[in-house]
Amino acid sequence: MAFSLLRRDLREAIEALGYKEPTPVQEAAIPAVLSGAHVLIVAPTGTGKTEAAVFPILSRMLDEGLKDCVQALYITPLRALNRDLLRRLTAVADMVGVKVEVRHSDTAEAARRKIYRSPPHLLITTPESLQIILLNRSLRSSLRCVRHVVVDEVHELVGSKRGVQLALGLERLVELAGEFQRVGLSATVGDVKLVAGFLGGSGRDVKVVDVSAAKRYEVEVVAPTPSEEDYATAEKYDVTPETLARLKYVADLIKRERGSVLIFANTRDGAEFLAAKLKALLGGGVEVHHSSLARDHRLSVEERLKTGELKAVVATSSLELGIDIGHIGLVVQYGSPRQVVRLVQRVGRGGHRLDAVSRGVVVASDLEDYLEAEAIAERALRRELERAVEYHEVALDVLLHQVVGMALEARLDGKPLSLEDILRVAKRAHPYAGLTADDLRLVLDFAQRHGLLDQLRPRKGSIKYYFENVSTIPDEKRYRAVDQAAGKVVGELDREFVFTIEPGAKIILSGRAWTVSKIEGDAVFLYPELDLVGALPGWIGEEIPVPREIAEDVCRRRAMALREALRGGYAGIADVEGLAEEDIPTPETVRIHLFGRFATVHSCLGSKGNEALGMYLSHHLSAYLGPIGYRADPYRVLLIHREPIVQKPLVEAFYRDDVYVQRTLMNAVKASRMFKYRFLQVAQRVGLLSRDAEDIPPRLIEAYADDLPGIEAVNEIFVEKLDLKALLDLIDGVRSGRYRVEVKRYAGPTAVDKPLLEEALRVDFTYRGLSQEAVKDLARKRILNREATLLCLNCGWTFRGKAYLLPDRISCPRCGVGAVAVVKGNLERALEIWRKFRARRKLDREEARELDELRHSASIVLEHGKVGVLVQLAHGVGPKTAVRILNRLAAGDDLWSAIVDAERQYAATRAFWD
């Protein structure tokens, strides 16, 4: 047993605190850590990874002899280490005489002074606080004793600039303390070799202890379809029947589960929406948790979930990390998790013990979402995680900060610093293994010109710059979104999103469309918008990208599913409207569908690949046709123009050489507002702008576009937002014949065009910008396929069924009377009011109003038959509006044109309702 390898006094302390026998990860990792090797421990959350690292390090510290200095560092990206875990570790350490302290940005000044006066043996800190203590005169000499460093949640750090900064910080620590043992703690990852390389740096071997394969998962993917009751009651909850079916399915899971349920949504908007609707369905016991909420609220939710007070919590990635939330019986993922590693980490929050089965249910929304979730779930069960990581190599802004730190250290220690010293230290850090002397000269030249260094000596502003920029995390400022017409706050917007819009832009917020009027201080003022073409979702920056390999797998599955659906399969979730078998996209064919002033390019490049394709195509076409907008998702790119898009220049874009493609994409990036925002962040990190700067003078961007800030802003975008490799592979594939390009013009969008078109227009009942005939046809098909609920006001007969099944003249089959009303709300309530009226019982004011509406509806059906039903099934159309539509018909107008106009009017006026 691994515990027997530990020192006796430590073993007795562990046993006294209830650690009877090691978990599998502790059994495997303790001998490796005791050997003194660099070790990466890979295991699911809650399996005892931290103890597997800390217990053997405590044992080695005791063997080495305790000194009055810091002998071990525990570095965690979380400011608040799991409180229970901290209590247990501190208790063990106290029993064997090891002093433990915590130092992060929230640590009180008095506590910091205590650490400086009397350094602990084990210091728990964050990557940012490490940057500070490396230059703290009081603590620096104590850090020379460091022999062990634990890096917690290392998988979270690998793909961020926090991690890049930490990698260099650890090499600076090596210069101070000499080589030390490195132990990394990681959740399940796809590229263990990369994570191990990141932890160890260049030239160090890292032993990997990976017990993640021992974890068992059960994942079910479901796509609930609406019942007749869902159609009847959807408007009561202000959702579509399809959404209500999903919400009720989740609510039933919560009610059936004996333990607590953790529900993950992919965006903060989605989490807020889910929590609000589930509260309405369940009557309480549900809370929301995400990074934009106050810390006190988050801690309260975590504690109440842990104690069992809450039945369910809806969260974003805020609860993916190792926060202690107690026993979770079931994890629900609302919508596809979009990545295998996300699903594994999220479902792994349930069934914490390694021997327990982690149970998860993915609730998908449509066929594509279902197939994506299915592909991801199958890969998760086979342990096929994504290998690609957003890895920042040779990040110039971080390097500048670290070089200034090295110069300040050299002055503290009274030592000279040379270009060769910096190269030697930096190249040991894995992200800088490819650093060249030219890269370093670019950084040093910038530092010299901006008064940060004189040659390699610190200048007057060096200390201020260094300490103001220890954090690489962008400002998380939020803006109030204010309805200028009503004078009330309607939501919040991220700083990144606000920075990429300007007055006149159209956005989607709280399910409505708005035009940005002005941006003042911390508020964005909006006006309700009717024309929805091109409106941006307010949460666009939050979406988790779908990798290319997943997108290609889904495209193959979708092609098979749609062929089956054309023969009657996948009832309820497959839409094949407007599709023939030859129209179905496949991974090997780039299908281009032209309709109205839109073009959909079907390509299976994943989120970042299609973002690159969309940016490239829009910039390429704009040179020929004028401004072209685009939207991209993992499976298609939508191009938006003021006129029909010409086919020839669009097809030509796929046959251009790589140099042209890269140059066009680079120009598109530099012309984008995304570049302006990234430039702001980099400019703040390098001290060109203050941290509270809200805007950038255009001349500053022009002056530094090809200097360090501009180069690094472009690098960030290509790492985090675009997949250039996927784009070039597609273009090369078209030129070589691996991919075919097929173009076809349609009267309107097909089923495979609609997902992104609906996202761009963000409305499910009309498409502005299409031909009037196409709009009318969409409205006709949609309304004829709606469920109609009828109630006979004479005898109480009821009917539910598709509207297209109704006869032209409608009468009750039971009593023969034609007084049949269309019920758009709750049928049971309508029946209750009808029975109360028939029994001559007094109706209250609201019941009398509803009965009056039913009578009005029945009189319309009596006079106009099936047409009277159809107009009342339109979105937002009640009996009074139905009469206005029917009056237009009497004057010679077209039925579907009148319905579309009424729906547009409803969309425009609804934004003013409370």
What pLDDT, in 10s, does the model give residues 710-721?
Answer: 999 999 999 999
Q: What is residue 513's three-state secondary structure? A: strand
The mean per-residue pLDDT over the stretch 319-323 comes to 54
**Nearest alpha-carbon partner for 529 in 478, 490, 499, 480:** 490
Query: Among 43-52, 169-178, 288-297, 312-321, where is mean pLDDT lowest?
Result: 288-297
- Please give the single-letter amino acid code of residue 43: A
Pairing status of strand 148-151 against strand 72-75:
parallel
Q: Helix, strand, or coil here: 896?
A: helix
Question: What is the model's pLDDT at position 762?
Answer: 47
pLDDT at 886 over 80: yes
- Name, of 149-153, 240-244, 351-355, the range with top average pLDDT: 149-153
Give the mean pLDDT of 813-820. Answer: 91
- Please name the amino acid found at residue 888: R
Q: Is 521 in contact with 695 (CB distance < 8 Å)? A: no
Rounded Cα–Cα distance for residues 554 and 577 (Å): 20
Say what the pLDDT of residue 84 is: 59
> In the predicted model, what is the mean pLDDT of residues 554-582?
85
56 pLDDT band, cuts 50/70/90, is: very high
Asked whether the predicted pLDDT for residue 853 surpasses 70, the reply is yes
**Highest mean pLDDT range out of 248-262, 519-533, 590-604?**
590-604
Looking at residue 47, what is its pLDDT? 79
Lowest mean pLDDT among 23-27, 88-92, 358-362, 409-413: 88-92
What is the distance between the alpha carbons of residues 79 and 379, in angstroms, rounded to a whole number?
33
- For residues 478 and 495, is the Cβ–Cβ distance under 8 A? yes
- 129-144 b/e (C-beta count within 10 Å ≥ 16 → b): bbbbbbbbeebeebbe
Closest to 126 measured CA to CA, from 99, 100, 152: 152
The rounded percent of the chain whose pLDDT value lies above 70 is 88
Over its C-alpha atoms, the chain yields an Rg (Å, rounded) of 31
Beta bridge partners of 508: 513, 537
Identify each DSSP E strand in 611-686 by its residue range: 629-633, 636-640
Structure tokens, 128: 């940012």
Q: What is the pLDDT of residue 322?
A: 53
- Report the pLDDT value the prediction gives residue 769, as an integer from 0 to 100: 40
Which of residues 525 and 63 earns the better pLDDT score? Answer: 63
Give the residue carrying structure tokens 């959740």.
Answer: 187
Q: How far is CA 486 from the centre of its chain?
A: 31
Residue 875 near residue 476, CB atoms below 8 Å: no
Would you place residue 764 in the very low, low, confident or very high pLDDT band (cuts 50, 70, 90)?
Answer: very low
Give the whole-angstrom CA distance, residue 715 versus residue 508: 29
Has this prediction a pTM greater than 0.85?
A: no
Query: What is the three-class DSSP state of 839?
Result: coil
- If you average pLDDT over residues 505-531, what whole number do you get? 70
Residue 786 CB neighbours (<10 A): 17
Q: Which residue has the higher pLDDT, 573 or 138?
A: 138
* CA separation for the pair 232, 714 (Å, rounded): 51
Residues 591-600 have a mean pLDDT of 92
Note the pLDDT of residue 365.
Answer: 87
Residue 5 has what pLDDT? Answer: 93
pLDDT band at 293 (very low <50, low <70, confident <90, very high): low
Q: What is the pLDDT of residue 41?
A: 96
Tell me what pLDDT residue 447 has. Answer: 94
What's the whole-number average pLDDT of the chain?
85
Report the residue count for the chain: 914
Give me the pLDDT at residue 217, please.
Answer: 84
Report the pLDDT value the prediction gives residue 321, as an integer from 0 to 100. 54
Confidence bin at 495 (pLDDT 50/70/90): low
Who has greater pLDDT, 351 or 554?
Answer: 554
Greatest mean pLDDT range, 125-139, 436-450, 506-520: 436-450
Place of tokens 């029946």: 831
Yes or no: say if 189 and 417 are a contact pair by the CB < 8 Å rule. no
Read off the pLDDT band of 181 (50, 70, 90): very high
Alpha-carbon distance of 14 to 93, in angstroms, equals: 10
Report, as an integer, the average pLDDT of 153-179: 94
What mean pLDDT comes out for the span 156-160?
90
DSSP code string of 414-467: T----HHHHHHHHHHSGGGTT--HHHHHHHHHHHHHTTSEETTEE-TTHHHHHH
Q: What is the per-residue DSSP string for 392-407?
A: --S-HHHHHHHHHHHH
Please determine, for residue 794, whether its predicted confidence score (pLDDT) is greater than 80.
yes
Q: Which amino acid is at 495?
A: R
Answer yes or no: are the C-beta atoms of 761 and 512 closer than 8 Å: no
The answer, yes or no, to whether residue 908 has pLDDT greater than 50, is: no
pLDDT of residue 289: 77
pLDDT tens digits, 430-449: 999 999 999 999 999 999 99
Structure tokens at 148: 């062990």
End-to-end CA distance of the chain, in Å? 65
- The pLDDT, as a whole number, for residue 318 is 58
- SS3 state at 357: strand
Contact 820, 792 (CB under 8 A): yes
Beta strands in 684-797 (DSSP E): 740-745, 787-792
Give the model's pLDDT for residue 912. 33
Looking at residue 910, what is its pLDDT? 40
Q: How far, in Å, CA of 575 to CA of 71, rounded?
A: 63
Confidence (pLDDT) at 509: 64
The pLDDT of residue 305: 75
- DSSP string of 536-568? EETTGGGPPPPPHHHHHHHHHHHHHHHHHHHTT
Overall average pLDDT of the 645-658 stretch: 94
What mean pLDDT is predicted for residues 266-288?
A: 81
What does DSSP assign to residue 68?
Answer: S
- Cα 461 to Cα 448: distance, rounded to the nearest angstrom: 12
Find which of 289-293, 738-742, 843-847 is predicted with most confidence, using mean pLDDT. Answer: 738-742
